[in-house]
A and B are shown apart, each in its own frame.
Chain A
Amino acid sequence: MVYGKEKMKIKLTWKIWLLIIAVALSLLSIFGMPPIFLQKGVLITSVDSNSTIFEEGLRQGQIIMEIDGVKINNVEDFSKIMQEKFPSEENVKTIITTKDSEYILFSKSPPEITVSDIPKSYLKTGLDLSGGSRALVQAKDKKLTSKELNDLIEITSNRFNEFGLTDVKVLPVSDLAGNHYMSIEIAGATPKDLEKLISEQGKFEAKIGNETVFVGGEKDITSVARSGQDAGIYSCNKIQQGYVCNFRFGIYLSEEAAKRHAKITEELEVNSTSQGNYLSKTLDLYLDDKLVDSLQISEGLKGRVTTQVQITGSGIGPTKNDAIENAEDEMKQLQTVLITGSLPFKLEIVKLDTISPTWGKDFSKTILFAAIAAIFAVFLIILIRFRKLKSSIAIFMTSISEIIIILGIASLIRWDLDLPSIAGILAAIGTGVDDQIVILDESKRNTSLSIKQRMKRAFAIILGAYFTTLASLIPLYWAVAGLFKGFAITTIIGITTGVLITRPAFSDVIKKIEG
């Protein structure tokens, strides 16, 4: 606004223009065009990949504007309509209108999607503010090379994908001590799944006697049935402490594994039992060296090159539903390791943080409040010290524009703003105000120097301070497995834009005001 006023009186210099453009671009990067906070509707956060609606083309990230012609403004509207319609006795028609197309669905149950309110901006917050789980993982008793780490990350990512967890970030990190870690971040909190998928190596072996027939992974297993007739729970029985439910699913072996199977079974004898004729040894399934199940091999398979094999297993629980759920989990996990193969190392979780999503909301508000209070305090002090309203407003506006530019760049590089990043922004704004005071003070001094020369002197001080701060931040970028990278990044963005964009503009503004 200050700049607006200036415009009426004097021509804006290119430095001030640069600042205005930078702020405008940053706002564009934070809110988009048209601004996202004006957008009505709900955002689809996930779509079950086995659902009809997925086949029709509805995807995560799309925005639902209307359902059955009724405008949807938020999640409440959405759940209200869904509750009114479902569950229903017979198939009902649902028309889902997104921004660019329309999907029609006939079903008894609601579409298999989850939605959330549209975020107010494109800024992304880190786990410590938005909730979720983060694990730092290391190989047990082994120092990983960076190649081994990359292999591990590939397999792990694959595992999460196959398991059906989306929105997972698996990244290599290393630190000053030369340790390599795998960092896993899951938005929303699902620490159980996370632990399950990495605490076990997932080494799957199918053995007859001491001989391995096939192992998990694409070398021996060409495909795994995930749903439909070939995979599912086929029986549940009551046992002493609850229920046990059995699952089975089909897999296809590679030619090579099938031949191995033929060779081993060739040498087995046939035993006759009341239930039929079976081979003398069972096919034993091991997961991480623990026996999961033993399968009888029917006589007909002796010496046959068969590529189709049934895998079975079971889950237990205090109630039938629990047992079914447990069996489904077990099945999903087994399918996952059969597809992806085992992890090359035993892993160890060295750091595991699970932050409740309810927590972060209040947090962001408090931080915003704190930042506004701090900037306002600065404004008052400057006003009291220099007794110049225009200059004080200029400092205030410069600080605000610095925050906007830092956030704009953070949004542009898709940086997740976590607590260290926010501390970094505060640090940058603090040094920013310091520099502006230097500029303001230099401009006021009664010397024989011209205002241009005085500004030059001010910048000698500012650049000196800039390079020393920059130098002191560099080690942090690598230390502590990157947990404080955010602090280094936002501070560096902040002080750099300060030196290159906002402070030169501020000095021009001051030149106009004071000059």
Chain B
Amino acid sequence: MKENIKKRLSNFHNKYYKLLLLIPLLILLFSFIYMGVFYSKNKDFIHKDISLTGGTSITLDKKLDTEELKKALSDKLEDINTRKIYDLVTREQTATIIETRSGPDRAKEVLEEYLGEELNEENSSIEFTGSALSESFYRQLLIAILFALAFMAIVVFIIFKTFVPSIAVIISAFADILMTLVLVNILGMEISSAGIIAFLMIIGYSVDTDVLLTNRILKGENSSLNERIFNAFKTGITMTLTSLIAIVFALIIVKSFSTVLSQIFTILSIGLFFDILNTWITNVSILKWYMEKKK
């Protein structure tokens, strides 16, 4: 029975693997178009939060009605945004975050007036980033990602020494990042500097499974090509699912608590999800094509 399913699966894959490649190709095509439109509209690749545009973020250790707060202050502070922070167990609101593009002194003054009390180190945290600086940070983070991709590509070429398998790994990693970026933008997430780091982490996680796959296929023993792919899949999917579930678990816990960590985890889970697609369809199909041709 099991053998039978395996065989049918194998036949199916032999017949359709090139066609399967269409799925990621279409998503990639859509991603390029989407990003093109997005860029021409926003003059940027992402929606940036204030850690990348510059501005002030104030965390108040108290319960406040965020909607009301936003309404009351919106004509006094530039681009105001409010958020609640919850306690993990009781689900009770423990803090309020106010973000604005105004400077820290102005923001503090307006809030103090609204609350009727002084803000000090005991009841609040204030983070301010100047706009020129955040602009420069943003550029550097983009450069860091480009360099990371380039270094990764060089290492992959050194390891496998053959063109097609290496380029397949690089394409998968790139597709992971691009598809994640598109979904993040569709969801309307405002990316912080830490969020960009998450994209960097995707490179690391994504390459793991690709290296495993390519290694098993190129340096495989006497078993058939499909056998090798299937074995790599069994290992690789366990790796990705384990990471994915661990990250989702962590995400649930930090979600209400830390915007920085929850953004990292959200982006990582999206990235890992696309990695399943890109490793086991994109990369597998290209590699199989290459191996079949080589015969």
Contact = CB atoms under 8 A, between A and B. Distances in A.
A176 B222 CA distance: 49
A28 B217 CA distance: 44
Interface in B108-159: 121-130, 132-133, 136-137, 139-141, 143-145, 147-149, 151-152, 154-156, 158-159
A345 interface: no
B91 interface: no
Interface in A457-477: 457, 460-461, 464-465, 467-469, 471-476
Contacts of A460: 215, 219
Interface string B220-244: 0111000000010011001101110
Nearest to A427: B201
Contact of A483 (B148, B193, B250): B193
Interface stretch (B23-31, B33-41, B204-212, B283-291): B204-212
Contact of B207 (A419, A447, A468): A468
Interface stretch (A19-27, A35-43, A367-375): A367-375
Nearest to B147: A475
Contacts of A358: 61, 122
Contacts of B147: 474-475
A469 to B, nearest CB: 4
Given A177-B139, A483-B193, A373 B250 contact: yes
A366 B193 CA distance: 22
B21 interface: no
Nearest to B145: A475
Interface size class of B (residues with CB under 8 A): 35 or more
A352 interface: yes
Interface in A113-167: 131, 136, 138
A352 B204 contact: no
A351 B193 CA distance: 14
A177 B136 contact: yes
A303 B149 CA distance: 73
Interface string A478-505: 0111011001000100000000000000
B140 A369 contact: no
A431 B254 contact: no
A419 B203 contact: no
A378 B200 contact: no
Contacts of A437: 235, 238-239, 242
Contacts of B204: 427, 431, 468-469, 472-473, 491
B258 interface: yes
B200 to A, nearest CB: 6
Nearest to A463: B159
Given A177-B140, A352-B104, A366-B254, A357 B121 contact: yes
B153 to A, nearest CB: 9
B257 interface: yes
Contacts of A378: 242, 245-246
B121 A189 contact: yes
Interface in B247-295: 247, 249-250, 253-254, 257-258, 260-261, 264
Contacts of B211: 461, 464-465, 468
Interface in B174-226: 193-194, 197, 200-201, 203-205, 207-209, 211-212, 215-216, 219, 221-223
Interface string B90-117: 0000110000000010000000000000
Residue among B61, B156, B242, B254 facing the most chain A CB atoms (10 A cut-off): B242
A176 B208 contact: no
B116 to A, nearest CB: 18
Contacts of B222: 448
A460 B144 CA distance: 27
Contacts of A430: 205, 243, 246-247
Given A373-B253, A472-B149, A441 B238 contact: yes
Given A461-B211, A472-B152, A374 B249 contact: yes
Secondary structure type dominating chain A contacts:
helix
Which of B137, B149, B193 has the most chain A CB atoms closer than 10 A to its own CB? B137
B59 interface: yes
Contacts of A426: 250
B212 A374 contact: no
A373 B253 CA distance: 9
A427 B88 CA distance: 23
Contact of B151 (A349, A374, A381, A474): A474
Contacts of B95: 359
A381 B245 contact: yes
B31 to A, nearest CB: 21
A27 B170 CA distance: 40
Interface string A392-427: 000000000000000000000000000110110011
B126 A475 contact: no
A333 interface: no
Contacts of B219: 457, 460
Given A385-B238, A468-B204, A475 B144 contact: yes
Given A449-B221, A472-B148, A355 B125 contact: yes
A479 B59 contact: no
A471 B148 contact: yes
A441 B245 contact: no
A281 to B, nearest CB: 39
B201 A475 contact: no
Given A382-B242, A460-B215, A431 B257 contact: no
A179 interface: yes
B54 to A, nearest CB: 9
Interface string A363-391: 10011011101110110011001000000
A138 to B, nearest CB: 8
Interface in B49-70: 59, 61
Given A433-B246, A479-B140, A136 B133 contact: yes
Contacts of B133: 136, 138, 350-351
A427 B156 CA distance: 20
A52 interface: no
Given A420-B194, A465-B207, A468-B152, A374 B250 contact: yes
Contacts of A491: 204
A330 interface: no
A504 B104 CA distance: 51
A191 B120 CA distance: 9
Contacts of A188: 121
A190 B231 contact: no
**Top 9 nearest A-B pairs by Cβ distance?**
A189-B121, A471-B151, A472-B148, A475-B147, A475-B144, A374-B246, A370-B253, A469-B204, A441-B235
Interface of B: 59, 61, 88, 94-95, 104, 121-130, 132-133, 136-137, 139-141, 143-145, 147-149, 151-152, 154-156, 158-159, 193-194, 197, 200-201, 203-205, 207-209, 211-212, 215-216, 219, 221-223, 231, 234-235, 238-239, 241-243, 245-247, 249-250, 253-254, 257-258, 260-261, 264
28 contacts: A351-B129, A352-B128, A353-B127, A354-B126, A358-B122, A366-B88, A369-B253, A370-B249, A370-B261, A371-B250, A373-B250, A374-B249, A375-B246, A423-B194, A447-B221, A461-B215, A464-B159, A465-B207, A467-B155, A467-B158, A468-B155, A468-B203, A468-B204, A472-B149, A473-B204, A474-B151, A479-B137, A480-B193
Given A371-B250, A480-B144, 5 more contacts: A374-B246, A423-B261, A426-B250, A471-B155, A472-B152
